[in-house]
Amino acid sequence: MIVTSGLQPWNRRWESLDRNQIQELVDVPKDSKVIGCRWVFRKKDNEQCKARLVAKGYAQIEGIDYNEIFSLVVKHTSTQVLLTIVAHFDLELEQLDVKTIFLHGELEERIYMKQPKGYIQEGQENNVCLLKKSLWLKQSLRQWYKQFDSFMIKTRYTRCEYDSCVYFK
């Protein structure tokens, strides 16, 4: 495992979670469900390891932990039309990759997660993480889309009536 800047990959990820205010440590409320979490590691092409903290969303129950998980997906014909317009008018097309997509969706439900192994804070061993953002949960994509849609409307883009994933100005 390669260590960069004196930090192991999961340490850098934990710092990212703290910076983005993903969770806060709280006492376990009575009669509340606490889901687990685990670290997922992947070796990248350049031999560096990438770490991701994943809440065990499979333990969530519909109607209790979340109400809706549906997220919109762009229609195939919309992509075809866009690419046709770009090719016909010899335009430039840019693509955007949101690297921390699941760290942006604000949660509407109260989800409690166990503290990850190796990061249990001294004196707070019995506390749990109250998730503020959708950290790889079933409702993560929907919550991100709602945040994205809100931003696009606020910046005066108009949502297409035919395809809700297409915005124009």
pLDDT by 10-residue block (mean), the chain, 169 residues = 42 70 85 85 74 77 73 88 95 80 77 82 84 79 86 94 89
Q: How many domains does the chain have?
A: 1
Q: Is residue 133 part of a domain?
A: yes
Answer whether residue 1 is part of any domain.
Answer: no
What pLDDT, on the 0 to 100 scale, is given for residue 73? 84
Rg for the chain (alpha carbons), in Å? Answer: 19
Does residue 18 lie within any of the structural domains? yes
49 domain-assigned: yes
Report yes or no on whether pTM surpasses 0.85.
no
**In this structure, is residue 112 part of a structural domain?**
yes
Range of the domain at 90: 9-168
Q: Is 2 within a domain?
A: no
Does 3 map to a domain? no
Is 131 a member of any domain? yes
Distance from chain centroid for Cα 112: 16
